[in-house]
Amino acid sequence: MPGPVSRREAVGRIAAASAVLGGAALLTRARFDRGGYDVAALGGQRQVRNFASPPVSALPMMAIAKSSTDPAVLARRAVDALGGMHRFVSRGDVVAVKPNIGWDRLPVHAANTNPLVVAEVVKMAFDAGASRVVVTDASCNEPNRCFQRSGIWRAAHDVGATVILPAAHRFREIRMKGDVLDQWPIYTPLVNADKVINVPVAKHHNLSKYTAAMKNWYGILGGRRNRLHQSIDVSIADLATFMRPTLTVVDATRVLMRNGPQGGNIDDAEDVHQVIASIDQVAADAYGCTLIGQKPENLGYLKLARERGIGEVDWASLPHVEV
């Protein structure tokens, strides 16, 4: 019954076969994965997410507010001394505020940033014309507990901030090309913004002695952060190289003096009543460590920061004011 194939049918079949082969070739070309060592060998410069604001000669680079016991007043005075939030935030900006919401601890334990300081920074950002202020952090403990019990969720929400809780879909792999931090999952809400304000808390840390501004960038990392402690100073320096914030506002109103970074005992923290605002995160840490009796030269990550030119360790040499 089946006779010889007609010419028309033969042409059709050949065309179909060619189309399948051609399609497969095109797909292969489009999605060809070289894989292996070619990818790993891609070298290059360290990545930088630069949100920094340039120094202005007439204005100080760092302000230390210590003239009040009200955290909100201290935060406002410190930022105002740098020229006010208008210097940093323009109309319509999306501003990411990065407090430390790492631990399931109450404000009195001083393991997280003081909610009043966070709220005041949010308020100032809105006053300067920010269209949206995102407050978030990738917590160490369970995020719902950390955000609620730190008091930051409520305080930030009350002043109109968008509080985002970390969730798995918010992390994307990014190549930072740091010395120890090469490719790592990055918490996107903190880098997808026009301006980034770092609002860390100054506290003792068992391994790196004192932490605040630079170490706070651990909160942009997902994945297994625990491996970083083998080279904690280099990883902190890598992060501070990657993230260059618009402004750093260090909460030192109540400082964890020992048992850091978690604390948990009220006696571990002491009232210091200071807030440091700085456009140089290294200088902020260099000054901050003196509050718990450390010296900048004892901190490995500050040494690395100086070597890499991220900022100034000799904070006293910068234009600064005390208010």
Partner 1 sequence: MACSHHPEPEPSDLPLPIPWLGKPGPVAALDLAPARAASPTRPTTTVVETTAPASPNPVEKIVPPTAPPKREPPKKTRSKKKKRPGSGIPARPIIRYLVWARRFAQAGFLGLFLFLLCNTAFRGTFSASSETPVRLPYPVEGFLLADPFVAAMTLLSTHAVYRGLAWSLGIVALTLVFGRVFCGWICPFGTLHHFFAWIFPSRYVRGKQRVEANRTHYWQAAKYYLMVAFLAAAVAGSAIGGLLDPICVAVRAIGLGVLPALQYLGIRSANVIADTNVRALQTASDASQDFLSRSVWTPNQLYFHQTWFIVVLFVAILFMNRIVPRFWCRALCPLGAFLGVISRFSLFGMEKDHSKCTDCNLCIVHCQGADSPQGGVKHRQDECHMCLNCEAACPEDVIKFRFLPNRKGTTSVPDLERRTVVATAAAGALAIPAFRIAGWPDRGYSEKVIRPPGAVEEREFLDRCIRCAECMKVCPNNALHPAFFEAGVEGLWTPILIPRIGYCEFSCVLCGQVCPTGAIQKITEKEKMGVGQKPIAMGTAMYDQGRCLPWAMGTPCIVCEEFCPTSPKAIWAEEVEVPKREGHYDKKGEQPKMLTVKLKRPHVDPNLCVGCGACEKVCPIVDKPAVYVTNAGETRSKSNVILLENTSYNRTG
Binding residues for partner 1 restricted to 241-300, rule: CB under 8 A? 259, 261-265, 268
Residue 185: CB minimum distance to partner 1, A: 11
Q: Does 224 bind partner 1 (CB under 8 A)?
A: yes
DSSP letters, 235-282, are HHHHHHHHEE-SEEEEEEEEEE-SSTTT---GGGEEEEEEEEEES-HH
Cα(26)–Cα(9) distance, rounded to whole angstroms? Answer: 25
Give the integer Cα–Cα distance in Å for 106 and 89.
30
Among 31, 32, 168, 317, contact with partner 1 (rule: CB under 8 A) = 168
- DSSP 3-state of 71: helix
CA distance 90 to 198: 17
The reply on whether position 32 binds partner 1 by CB under 8 A is no
* Residue 230 in the binding site for partner 1 (CB under 8 A): yes
How many amino acids of this chain bind partner 1 (CB under 8 A)? 46
Q: How many CB atoms lie within 10 A of CB 97?
A: 30
| Binding region for partner 1 (CB under 8 A) out of 3-11, 54-62, 199-207, 307-315 | 199-207
214 residue type, one letter: M
When asked if residue 187 is in the footprint of partner 1 (CB under 8 A), the reply is no
Overall size of the chain counted in residues: 323
Query: Binding partner 1 by CB under 8 A: which of 140, 181, 236, 289?
Result: 140
149 binds partner 1 (CB under 8 A): yes
Q: Report the residue number, 84 or 264, with the smaller CB distance to partner 1.
A: 264
Q: Does 166 bind partner 1 (CB under 8 A)?
A: yes
Alpha-carbon separation of residue 298 from 42, 167, 287 (angstroms): 35, 36, 13
Contact assessment for residue 266 and residue 208, using Cβ atoms and an 8 Å cutoff: no
Sole window of 84-92, 156-164, 275-283, 290-298 interacting with partner 1 (rule: CB under 8 A): 156-164
Position 200 contacts partner 1 (CB under 8 A): no
Q: Which is nearer to partner 1, 191 or 323 (CB)?
A: 191
Is residue 183 a contact point for partner 1 (CB under 8 A)?
A: no
Q: Phi and psi for 276 in degrees, rounded to 5?
A: -115, 120
Binding site for partner 1 (CB under 8 A): 104, 106-107, 115, 140-145, 147-151, 153-154, 156-158, 163-170, 172, 205-207, 224, 226-227, 229-232, 259, 261-265, 268
